[in-house]
Amino acid sequence: MDIEEAVCNFEKNLQNAHRFATKIVKKSTSTYIHPNMKDLIKTRNKTKKDWQTLRNPSIITELNRVEKLIKKLENESKQKDKTEELETLNPENGTLWTKAKIMRRKAQKIPALKGEFKLALSDPHKSETIALSLEKQFSLNNLSHSETEEEVNESTNNFSPPINNNYHNDNTNSIQPSEVIKIIKKLNIKKACGRGGITNKMIKNIPCTMVFALTEIINNIFNFNYFPNAWKTAVVVPILKPGKDPTIPENCRLISLLSTLCKITENFILDKLNEHLIGNKILCPEQFGFRKSLTTNHQLLRVVEYITKGFDRGECTAVVFLDIQKAFDRVWKQGLIHKLIMYKRPPNLVQLLNSYLDDRKFVVRIGNSSSESKTMKAGFPQGGKISPVFTPSM
């Protein structure tokens, strides 16, 4: 069985197991009603019938009085519930900040977008308009240097490392089920899922037999230096950027949702890549982002130290901030693989990374509508764990 077929069967079995083992629970709409409220509702209903029958002015006066009492009790009950809910919030366990974030969040709807030829009004047209805009964004810059192109094409086309047939027999290299379980336990069940509808909660509940099957797939990915196409399509959800013209598709911030199974596999590819980069001291010591046990806060402390030393010597410290536009979107994939080959990176890992980057696709989703699948001709997959590590090799 090849990798594509194994991935397809694994996902199908997982979806079938989820469908047979779960059922949809209808949300209860019934709410608790205070006994006093029940008595008032009975009185109101009886008074309303009397009014419809007798049409006595004194009855309508009584009906209005009862309805005001009911409304007052409803407001008091709602206020009491809100007060009790707020009193239970605690900044230490994070419930206070979660509630504050929800209350500040505003529902944003993508407005009509300016398409290439006409306005996009419906969700299907909006998603397709943004997808076409992204397709242009994920394209190569004008290289206009034939010698470089020929050199890169020659090195990448002729690059063919041998298949590692001894990978499974080498226990020091092969992935163990315990390692896969360790990553699965760290999954956040609140995170949105990618294409295919396999959620983190579903994966956290898979039995040991499916863990073994997933481990076998991951080991075969390393064995054959091949990344499955089923995990190469991202679901892109657009969000409006504040202060920008919302009618222009390019002014949307994009959230890219990848398959969780893809992300689990990326963890192991990233470990192999970091093992080589750190072991051979390839990463520069000034790089703090996307490195284990290091954060951008450490870089800030380093800047503070420079500034403090400057103050002690009576010197001024200048800082230059560089922001590269579309840094991840227009990367020349073949050029990157060429550099990895020239820098003598592990051949099998380079071949796997080439397969990982090749023929990546995306769809744009707005509401329940999705665009047609588009191809990324350049750039790294947004949301991928490996993408930031490619930057030092560029």
Q: How many CB atoms lie within 10 A of CB 255?
A: 15
CA distance 53 to 63: 13
In whole numbers, what is the pLDDT of the chain averaged over residues? Answer: 85
Per-residue confidence (pLDDT) for residue 170, from 0 to 100: 53
Residue 142 has pLDDT above 70, yes or no: yes
Per-residue confidence (pLDDT) for residue 164, from 0 to 100: 61
Question: Which residue, 102, 139, 131, is CA-closest to 254?
Answer: 131
Amino acid at 314: G
Residue 185 has pLDDT above 90, yes or no: yes
Q: Choose between 167 and 317: higher pLDDT.
A: 317
Q: Tokens 């959230």 belong to which residue?
A: 255
Residues 294, 228: contact at Cβ < 8 Å?
no
Per-residue confidence (pLDDT) for residue 268, from 0 to 100: 93
Task: For strands 361-366 and 233-240, give the pairing.
Answer: parallel
Residue 319 has pLDDT above 80, yes or no: yes
Q: Model confidence over 358-379: pLDDT tens digits?
A: 899 999 999 888 899 998 888 8
Per-residue confidence (pLDDT) for residue 363, from 0 to 100: 92
Sign of CA dihedral 250, 255, 261, 266: positive
pTM: 0.77
Per-residue confidence (pLDDT) for residue 28, from 0 to 100: 64
Q: What sections of 158-295 are H helices per DSSP?
A: 177-185, 200-204, 208-224, 260-279
Residue 131 has pLDDT above 80, yes or no: yes
CA distance 346 to 276: 8
Least confident of 160-174, 238-252, 334-348: 160-174
Q: Model confidence over 9-52: pLDDT tens digits?
A: 999 999 999 988 888 777 766 666 777 788 888 999 999 998 88
How does 146-176 read in b/e, with b if 16+ C-beta sit within 10 Å?
eeeeeebeeebeeeeeeebeebeeeeeebbe
